[in-house]
A = this chain, B = another copy of it.
């Protein structure tokens, strides 16, 4: 890429075009690009999401800190990302309410607002089975933003939710007209109608101009491109909460309305396909729980025999990704490194085996087990696939 030639408002500044191979020779001898309206990303940075037909996974191994860059937030949608004109898009709240109301984006922004840094994870966020998997491939369907919006409880008060309303249907304005039934209790507790993400309007992939956000709950419930909430005395048993987002447990039964994201952690460094060198290694990763705060992350560098308490980087927030770090001196031995998180309810991330013992081994949604990395003698890092069924 050739350096752009930029002129000042007054036409003063002169940056000569330079031959391609001279570009990076000595930046101290070449006037740089002047201040612009929109910042750029270095052409040397090549981090992207990994798309499939139905989703796109965040490159967790490339992240620093707890904020996911908005354009690298994972995507999951059931009929693509709609192009929505915010001037034609409204939110209707009706059903078991005293006063059915319609809100424009501008209306929503006038209400008292709230911001919180919190993750969204798809409950279908687990891939395993082979050694050459990156964190992105294993569990890239989780991302974190600072979400800003109006509390759903504020809108509930505004429309006058009736005492017999126990569920509400949340409906999107995308081509799937996506729907989920949500207990009204969640709406009184902490649901948000979010219109902003990391300081700017929500991105199209995340629900522009606004979405429901249910902190700590499986991502699918946080209906994007929200257009309608209907208060009801029964759930709707929509396709997304019956055919999908239900999972097998023992005795031929399936769990329905399984909302909470179980506590989870993953080591993002070192991870496949990185290669480590002997010496001090800062093991790094992310930990979170849909049930509250992370209270502890433990790391094992000897395949689970011994565990050490990892450092947690502030801020440690409710229902939020937290960074953990652990210094480890690798002497060249073949080993496995693992992490496990404990949340404020006392739940500790289980092994895949423990999950199978509890639920049967059919897999499905809400698989948030401990994941291990194998460190080979030559420093190669490989995912440790665990066998089941």
Q: Chain B's nearest CB lies how many Å from the CB of A174? A: 6
Q: Is the CB of A331 closer than 8 A to any CB of chain B?
A: no
| Segment with Cβ contacts to B, from A4-12, A334-342, A371-379 | A4-12
Q: Which of A23-31, A162-170, A247-255, A380-388 contacts B (4 or more CB under 8 A)?
A: A23-31
**A111–B282 CB distance below 8 A:** yes
Complex interface: stretch among A83-91, A95-103, A236-244, A348-356? A83-91
The digit string for A35-56, where 1 denotes a CB below 8 A from any CB of B, is 1111111111101111111111
Q: Which of A70-78, A120-128, A298-306 contacts B (4 or more CB under 8 A)?
A: A70-78
A273 interface residue (CB < 8 Å to B): no
Contact of A40 among B38, B112, B203, B280 (CB under 8 A): B203
Contact of A12 among B3, B53, B80, B199 (CB under 8 A): B53
In the complex, which residues of chain B have a beta carbon less than 8 angstroms from the beta carbon of A364?
none
Among the stretches A259-267, A289-297, A310-318, the one at the interface with B is A310-318
What residues of chain B lie closer than 8 Å to A15, measured between beta carbons? 80
Where chain A touches its partner, the secondary structure class is loop
| Bound form: Cα–Cα A113–B283 in Å | 10
A207 CB to nearest chain B CB (Å): 11
A32-B174, A83-B3 as given contacts; A64 in contact with B325, CB under 8 Å: no
**A56 contacts B36, CB within 8 Å?**
yes
Residues of B within 8 A of A177 (CB): 28
Q: Given A37-B51, A64-B146, 8 more contacts at CB 8 Å?
A: A28-B177, A32-B77, A34-B51, A39-B73, A41-B201, A65-B115, A67-B67, A72-B199
10 pairs across A/B with beta carbons < 8 Å?
A: A28-B174, A34-B51, A37-B49, A40-B203, A42-B201, A69-B70, A110-B282, A112-B327, A113-B325, A117-B315
